[in-house]
Amino acid sequence: MTQRTLDPSAGQISRLASATGTGPIVMLNLLRFKDRADGIDAADGISGRKAYERYGAGVGPHLAAAGGEILFMAECAAGVIGPEDEDWDVMVLVRYPSRQAFLGMIADPGYQAVHRHRAAALEDSRLVCCEPTVTAQP
């Protein structure tokens, strides 16, 4: 199985912070939930999905303060290309006005407190920073 990844490394944060782009970004989130949440939500005996709902409710004000917005969220039906053991439960696209807005949000102590629900919820995740581009129309 692929290595479990829940948080960015120091090197990944450094690369994101030092990138030259100044415009909006879209963060692609791929999420796999734990059967049973641990950490901050362990005593409640809830699923990882329920713990992530707690994260979602708590992150709203931080997302709004950063100028971010959820563009799209969907259940993942089936992996078509990629490692056989890397199936995902949910994907989320979140737009931020800039890399700095995202980095400021995740560094905020209030966000860090809410983030504990995310850590309790997820078995694995991927987060990919995307820069919107203009594509040709058919």
Q: How far apart are CA 11 and CA 31, in angstroms?
A: 22
Q: Which residue has the higher pLDDT, 136 or 34?
A: 34
| 64 located within any domain | yes
Give the H or E element holding residue 127: strand 122-130
Please indicate, yes or no, if residue 15 is contained in any of the structural domains.
no
Domain of 71, in residue numbers: 22-79+86-130
Q: Kindly state whether residue 5 falls inside one of the protein's structural domains.
A: no
CATH of the domain at 122: 3.30.70.100
| Residue 13 counted as domain residue | no
Query: Is 121 inside a domain boundary?
Result: yes
Q: Is 37 exposed, middle or buried (0-12, 13-18, 19+ CB in 10 A)?
A: buried
Please report the pLDDT score of residue 33 as a whole number: 97
Q: Model confidence over 36-93: pLDDT tens digits?
A: 999 999 999 999 999 999 999 999 999 999 999 999 999 999 888 888 888 999 999 9
pTM of the full structure = 0.87
State how many domains the chain has: 1
Which pLDDT score is estimated for 137? 63
**Interatomic CA distance for residues 31 and 74, integer angstroms:** 11
